[in-house]
Amino acid sequence: MMKYNYIQVSKLVSYILRHRPDKFSLALDDHGFLFCEDLIDVLQKRFPVFDANDLGTLIEHDKKGRFQMRGDKIRAAYGHSIEVLPVSTEVTPPSNLYHGTSQEVIEKIKTKGICSMNRQFVHLSVSQDDAKQVALRRTDNPIILEILALEAHQQGRVFYQESHIFLTAHVPLDFIVFPRCNILSPHI
């Protein structure tokens, strides 16, 4: 039996490491790392029985690869709204990546390309299904865009890979393939 609510802890850790370490009097290094001990001290204020073993379990069972460990430090692998440097070096992406979005955002994308919005990077998925799952968090009718990632990279776009997500600063229109039918059927 778990000593704490996994979802609540995971959301708090994500919030701290991605968006507001300052709210908890924490400071991340340039790559977004924080000493695990400092994070555990903050978590214990809300979850008193949470310890280092629980943090290890949280990271080990996180299917989305949200967190990375390096020695005695932890960071969010992706999703930062605060400025952090990627841990990985520039990578050559696969030929195609995917981005899930909503009908409300698609018109902006058709004029400006895919912008990072309130995040530091645009997040791209390796499969249409992964992109769909991401988009379903914000809309019931996701639109899946194909990104000509390798071509974009060959034209000078920089890509990073953090966990199973590819990151880039912006995807210009030239590298986006819009679906013929804007809305994917929920049965797909």
Asked whether residue 13 is domain-assigned, the answer is yes
Is residue 45 located within the same domain as residue 115?
Answer: no
Is residue 101 located within the same domain as residue 41?
Answer: no
Note the pLDDT of residue 84: 84
CB 165 within 8 Å of CB 102:
no
CATH number of residue 48's parent domain: 1.10.10.970
Question: Which of 64, 28, 24, 18 has its CA nearest to residue 41?
Answer: 24
- CA atoms of 168 and 149, how far apart (whole Å): 10
pLDDT digits (tens, 9 = 90+) for 161-181: 987 889 999 999 999 999 875
Note the pLDDT of residue 151: 97
Asked whether residue 83 is domain-assigned, the answer is no
CATH number of residue 137's parent domain: 3.20.170.30
How sure is the predictor about 120, in pLDDT bands with cuts at 50, 70 and 90? Answer: confident
Is residue 62 located within the same domain as residue 113?
Answer: no
Give the β-pairing of 114-115 and 170-171: antiparallel
Note the pLDDT of residue 182: 46
- CA atoms of 81 and 89, how far apart (whole Å): 20
Longest CA pairwise span in the chain (Å): 52
As a whole number, mean pLDDT of residues 107-111 equals 92
Asked whether residue 51 is domain-assigned, the answer is yes
How sure is the predictor about 23, in pLDDT bands with cuts at 50, 70 and 90? Answer: very high
Asked whether residue 171 is domain-assigned, the answer is yes
Which residue range forms the structural domain that includes residue 166?
A: 97-177
Show the tokens assigned to 89.
């070096």
Asked whether residue 89 is domain-assigned, the answer is no
Note the pLDDT of residue 75: 92
Among candidate residues 76, 107, 135, the one where a domain is terminated: 76
- What pTM was computed for the model? 0.67
Total domains in the fold of the chain? 2
